[in-house]
Structure 1
Amino acid sequence: MDTRQLRAFLAVVETGGISSAAEQLGYAQSSVSDQLRTLERDLGVPVLNRTSVGTVPTEAGQRLLPYARRLLDLDGEMRRSVSGRRPLLRIGALQSLADEWLPELLTAFDHGAAGPDTADVTVTVSNRGRLMEELRAGHLDAVFTLDSGPGHDGPSAVVGHDRVVLVTAPSHPLASVHPLTLDDVRRAEFLVTEIGCIYRQCFDEFGRDVGPSLKIAMITGSLNALRRLAVNGRGAALLPRFSVQAELESGDLVILDLKEGPVPLTVEARWREDLGPAEAPLRALVELTQKFSPASWAMA
């Protein structure tokens, strides 16, 4: 057994087929099939089951999965250590955190602000559900997310607090209404993110609180686009304060005076156990987050 066979096995499990696995790995299909046959011959049991809807792991294959991932992680760690390179730390983050917070944090981390424990960092940006899937699958070592959401079996730490604010352009009709009532809000048109995004979840919860008839003017998968649409007066938006802090300071956006608002957000770091050489750099990075919190977190 060697790492090529394990990589072929994992690629098939992740993509659901030999042809797509071959494309992902850059191999010929016949090469992937040969690797899988060798792996099954070495283990003495079939690890994959070819079905009409794709290729799935057998019961033995399911047991093999965590070991295969661990062995490939160890192989990568060994090669980096022997060659004198720093550990690899694979982190994931929501788009808003990646845009507004991580660049300064990771630059400081890379320049030794967290002490001698450093690492080469890769960043994956996605929605919360996808990030947690990647963490559980072992494709990410740690994720930075908003809100608590479903439970996480591994270690975690709260690194900040923020709150969702209801914002519009200063020219928006609601911007001059003080105090703002729920009836006023029900007459507004909202800019929202796609289903599956934490900010869409906040909007849906807000809608349940104020009534089911909130009007959606536009749905976008881009937080930056939503922010620009709000600046241009296209509607109201519920966004984390740190993501619109610059627009609030410049006067491009204003916070609406609404007492009944969404609950505060918790900013969390969650990570896998047994990270090996990457564990010390990760803990140093988590500690460093307290020094590089957006200014708005202090206002939450």
Structure 2
Amino acid sequence: MKLSELLAFVTVVDTGNITQAAERLNRVQSSISHRIRSLEDNLDVTLLDRKTDGCSLTAQGQILYDYAVKILNLADDCKKNILHYSSSQMNMRIGIIECLPAYIVSSMIDLGYDLGWNIDVSIGNTISLLDAFDRNEYDAVIIGAGFSNVQHTRATLLSSELVLITEKNFPTIKDISSLDGEVFMLSSKKCATSTRNYTSLFKEGHIIPKRIVECGSYPVLFSSVAAGKGVSLVLRCSIGSEVQSKIKIHELFGQYNDFKIELVYRTGCPNLDSTKFRGLITSIFQDPRLHNIGD
């Protein structure tokens, strides 16, 4: 039995004839008749006494009618609850800078699952993510600090260090000026945060790199550095445990010890407690793995 058949049957009973049932359901009479016959064939009974002045229920038809009304009411109630849940479910679009470790993204997805939210996560660089946020393409972005402005609502999530990484047997870097003439590697030349930090490093160390190689992603960058193809300046927390044993980490000081990651978010999202949302995202960045790499 199909709901459409039960609805046709109940409507015929309620209106008294097939013609009026067809009008109420916006169907042709032959369609209503076909659905009634299908029910009768399926149950192998006669449900309606058909007369010139209308239709009346048989004894078997009365039994089906009572059940059909309950079934249709339950189906309608189910549909309303599903629609209400869908309309009330939180949908969040979040952009995250690519230098963060993969477990941060996993934690974000787990958070959405636990709260019943639909969280769509995209990876990008600070400038492109912030531009997309300003175009309302994201509800929140997690980016490098220093590029948002006073019109943005923001909160610091993490303060970490920038470190130099090289292949395992590279001599300890005691003076960054010794890197003059080295090949430098970065994930993307479009990443404003990396470009700014490299500019500061080159200026401070009077470094003229042999060349700057764009790797396209952090996994490629780390594998290239491990293979001795160049050196790189990265956020300490971006170094995963699987990479740490394959590279050498060199400490930096001064301005490189206070690199901040911040959350930029909207405060006017319907059904969203922005203070609670900020607290939940902040809690993800309390992961000890972000603070205990290469010490």
Which position in structure 2 is the counterpart of 1:88? Answer: 91
SS of the aligned residue for 1:149 comes to: coil
Query: Aligned partners of 1:136 and 1:123: how far apart in 2?
Result: 17
Q: Normalised by the size of structure 1, how large is the TM-score?
A: 0.62
The one-letter amino acid of 1:289's match is I
Where does residue 119 of structure 1 map in the other structure? 117
| Displacement after TM superposition at 1:299 (Å) | 8.6
Question: 2: distance between equivalents of 1:288 and 1:98?
Answer: 15
1:242 aligns with 2:237: yes
Match of 2:228 among 217, 225, 233: 233
Percent of aligned positions with the same letter in both sequences?
A: 16
Equivalences for 1:18-97 in 2 at 5 Å?
Answer: 81=84, 83=86, 85-97=88-100
Greater CA deviation, 187-196 or 255-264? Answer: 255-264
Secondary structure of 1:89's partner? Answer: strand
Give the unaligned 5+ runs of structure 1. Answer: 1-78, 113-117
Q: Does the 8 Å contact 1:248/1:254 carry over to 2? A: no
Higher gyration radius (CA): 2
Once residues 234 and 104 of structure 2 are traced to their aligned partners in structure 1, the CA distance between those partners, rounded to angstroms, is 15
Residue type at the aligned position of 1:90: R
Unpaired segments ≥5 residues, structure 2: 1-81
* Offset of residue 161 of structure 1: 1.2
> In the alignment, what sits opposite 1:186?
180
Residue 194 of structure 1 and its aligned partner are, at CA, apart by: 2.8
Greater relative CO, 1 or 2 (CA 8 Å, sep 6+):
1
Q: Secondary structure at the match of 1:111?
A: helix
Alignment partner of 1:106 out of 99, 105, 109 = 109
State the alpha-carbon separation in 2 of the partners of residues 268 and 213 from structure 1: 31
Moved over 6 A (4+): 297-300
2: CA distance, partners of 1:241 / 1:212: 22
For residues 272 and 232 of structure 1, do their structure 2 counterparts lie closer, same or farther at Cα, with a shift above 3 Å needed? same
Q: Partners in 2 of 1:207 and 1:270 — Cα distance?
A: 30
| Partner residue of 2:290 out of 281, 290, 295 | 295
What amino acid sits opposite 1:141 in the alignment? Answer: D
Cα drift, residue 91 of structure 1: 0.7
